[in-house]
Every structure is written in C-alpha cells, then in structure tokens.
Amino acid sequence: MIYIRNISYRNAIIKQPVKLRYKTLKKNNKSLYLDIYLNGIRKYEFLRLYLVPEVDENCKKHNQQVLRQALNIQAQRMMEIYGGVPMKPHEKPHLPVKLSDFIQQYAESYRNAGHRDMSRYQTILTLIPHLEIFGAKDLPLCEIDKDFCLQFIQYLETAKDLRPNIKEERQISSGTAYLKYSIFRTVIKEAHRQGLIKENPILKLQSSQLPHRPDSTRCYLTKKELKKLINTPCDYSKLKEAFMFSCFTGLRKSDVLELKWCNVLYENRKWIIRKKIKKTQRWLTIPLSEEAREWLPKHREKRDSYVFPQMPSTSLSINVKRWAKKAGIKNKIVTFHVARHTFATLELSLGVDLYTVSKLLGHRSITTTQTYTKVIDKKKENAMNRIDKAFRK
C-alpha cells in the first residue's frame, strides 16, 4: 500500500532548524543555547540556563529541570516556525514541518534527555524508513488526518522487515507491527501536545480500526536453564550481574541500567529497592532476596553512581544471546527482557499469588500479569501429558 496525497512538497526539503547546544564555561558549567538555521540565516539564542557538574543528587535534579526548560523552549521555537505564528514583514515564509523531521526531532529530544537506554531512541527512528516505503516521508504534519492514519495502520499489517541484516524478504511480526503503531501514536500525540496539529486524528478512529496488542508467548528461562547461565562465564561480567539481578528482581532493562546506589536501601532490618520506574513514572518499592543481593557488585560506590556502570544498551541483547548459546540454550531467543519474564514465571510457579506478583512487577493492572498464568497453565498441561505418555507406551 502506498499513500497518495494531493499536494507535493518535494521541494520543501528541510532539516531540524532548531538545535539545542551548550558552551562550556569556567568550573565546567555549561551554558545552553539554541542554534537556529532557517532560510539560509543562522542565529543563536542564549537561554540563560546553565548545567552544573553533577557532584550530588541536588545538582542532578537541577540539571534535569534546566534541561526540561530548554527542551520546552526548543519545542516552542519549532512551533513558532511551523505552527502558523504571524511573521514579521522582513521574514521569509516558513515551510511546513514534515512528519519524518518531527520524528527525528522527537527521537533527538529523547536522547538529549539523558536516558541510558538508547534502544528506545533507535526504535523511534525505525519508523522513518516505513514512512518512506509508504510514500509519506515528506508528508507535512498539517496534512495528517484520520484517513492517513487508517491507511498507515493497514500498511503496517503487511509491512516488510526493513532491517539490513535480514537476508530473506519477510513480513514483520504482529508484535513488531503493534510496536511501530504505538510509536506512531505517541509521535502524533506529542505533535498535538506541542500545537503542531490542531487535533489528534487517531482519536477519531473507531476501536475496531485500531491495532490491538497481540497475544504473545512469553519466553522465559526454566530453573535448569537459569542454573546453566549461572554456571557459564560471560564475556562481560557486568552484563551477567545485571541480567541475573533482573532475573531475581523482575526489574526491566531500563530500570536496571538506571539503578543507582541511592536506590538500594537498608530499612527495618531488610534490603529493598526504591525507584521511580521509567516506563510508568510510578515509585516502586520491592524487597531484595539474598539471591538478588548476590548479583550486586561487591564494591559499593557513591550514592549517585550507577550500580551497573559501563553498560552500552545497544549491544546488550546481542551479548545476552551469545552468552545463552554458550550455556547450551539454543531453542530460545534470549534477550535481556527474558529476565523479567523469568522472574514472573518463577514466582508464580513457586506458588506466589497473582496479586503479589503484579505488585512486584509494578503492573498498573493485574490483567497484564495474567498473561504469565497462561505459561503456568501450559506447564500444568505438559505435566499431565507426561502421565498419558507414560501409560500409553
């Protein structure tokens, strides 16, 4: 499916005109400014906002607040350029912002916010090649309507896998299609929030027209496979510690990567983790088992130091897969997120009730946790089938 529109903006080739930069000052402070390049003219806007060295938690909070202010000003300048703000007589007419440019800007804003997990940044950018195949790479945001959204959703249902390492042509999975729709939905929502489009066209679609998250088979490790990994050396010791820590706490990769020593607390004679979860922005407090504490680094650093430092998120899954194959686990695709599935399945199989597991995982709804009960039911079914096989030989 190719999207066909009435107006061509082939000559409206623009790149992100407003970039956030900094200038290093004395004492290693950084002055933030905007680098604005439009219609062949470059100008700088100094924001009088300053980043300071992150020597403690207060400094870090200050920098986060300042960065949010700067990004808001950057977004405001983008709105002034593309959002129909009246121009001065000497100014040239501005070109409408393209959907692909806004996706690039949205991804860059995510990266500039200081997240350690860069896999999300890369996932956002994967939407652009699909827009190009669909014929909408140069589509202005102002032209996005309900019909376009519906056609793009239908395109994703049969879209090809565009990853460069795929040798044979194949269609993306239903899970991947839903993920790309979710990114597209978030981008449109953000464009509406910034005032770049008057309304969110996705909200005009009926529920039956929207993709729904497909039922997925949760890949997890059995106790036997978990022990294999424990007994198998990993090329990156920090990776092994982080993965196993996730297996025994249920924390997501993003939260493990951003875990700091100030989140590891000893209260009321027990060790706990208290952290704001990145995905939901809700605080989570969970007790630490002895097995989980075994995988914490032995040397405790400063409170603001990462528990698992020097962990490049982009290569984690590749190295986890290599480690799993080395351990003899060849019939499963083991990614870092499998650790979280392993924790949930392990807890349920040991008899922990669904509500408690839901709270340990930080799920907002117990319905999400119920997905793991299907795994347990399948294990029970397989156990009963073994009896049939034993007596029918």
pLDDT score, position 326: 93
Give every CB contact of residue 338 below 8 A, 6+ residues apart in sequence.
Answer: 219, 220, 221, 320, 332
| Closest to 71 measured CA to CA, from 42, 99, 112 | 112
Q: Is 47 exposed, middle or buried (0-12, 13-18, 19+ CB in 10 A)?
A: middle
Q: What's the pLDDT score for residue 11?
A: 35
Cβ 205 vs Cβ 313: under 8 Å = no
Question: Is-contact 183 305, C-beta < 8 A?
Answer: no
295: nearest Cα among 322, 321, 271, 268: 271
**43 with 130: CB under 8 angstroms?**
no
Contact criterion met (CB below 8 Å) for 42 and 21: no
Q: Which domains can be identified in the chain, with CATH numbers?
A: 18-85+97-209 (1.10.150.130), 223-390 (1.10.443.10)
**End-to-end Cα, the chain, rounded Å:** 54
pLDDT reported for residue 243? 94
What is the pLDDT, as a whole number, of residue 356?
Answer: 92
Over the stretch 358-389, which tens digit does the pLDDT of each residue have? 999 998 888 778 877 766 666 556 656 655 66
Contact 361, 344 (CB under 8 A): yes
Which pair of structure tokens corresponds to residue 220?
């997890």
Catalogue the long-range contacts made by 220-225 (C-beta closer than 8 Å, 24 or more residues apart).
Answer: 220/338, 220/341, 220/342, 220/344, 220/345, 220/346, 220/375, 221/247, 221/329, 221/332, 221/334, 221/338, 221/339, 221/342, 223/346, 225/327, 225/329, 225/332
Residue 24: is it exposed, middle or buried by C-beta count within 10 angstroms (0-12/13-18/19+)? exposed
Contacts with 25 (C-beta within 8 Å, 6 or more apart), sequence order? 31, 50
Task: Kindly report the pTM of this predicted structure.
Answer: 0.56
Q: Which residues of the chain have pLDDT under 70?
A: 1-15, 82-96, 113-118, 215-217, 312-314, 374-393
What is the pLDDT, as a whole number, of residue 63?
Answer: 83
